[in-house]
Amino acid sequence: MNQLQLRSEVKAATQNWVASIMQQYGVPAYIMEEALQSVQLNLKDMITQELIAEIQAEQAPTQEEGKEEDDGTQSDN
């Protein structure tokens, strides 16, 4: 499944879930909006953490290569 299809399916499932919760529990739109905004802020924090982890993972091999050159353990010259 490509990213566009995944995004579309997740969006549709989320819209259905929100509508179902609102109907099942009689939740007014303004309360649901507030709840979703709170969840969205949490997701933004998770995105930031994922990006930091990804950047650190990408930098780790580069830093190791630099260490080897500094230590003289690499003999390409």
Tens-digit pLDDT profile for residues 36-68: 999 999 999 999 999 999 999 999 877 667 676
User: What are 7-43's pLDDT values in tens digits?
Assistant: 999 999 999 999 999 999 999 999 999 999 999 999 9
Q: What's this model's pTM, rounded to 2 decimal places? A: 0.66
Q: Which amino acid is at 67?
A: K
Neighbours of 19 (CB within 10 A): 11
Say if residue 7 is exposed, middle or buried (CB neighbours under 10 Å; 0-12, 13-18, 19+): exposed
pLDDT band per the 50, 70, 90 thresholds, residue 2: very high
pLDDT at residue 69 is higher than 80: no
How far, CA to CA in Å, does 32 sit from each of 38, 43, 75?
Answer: 10, 16, 62
CA atoms within 13 A on the CB side of 26: 0
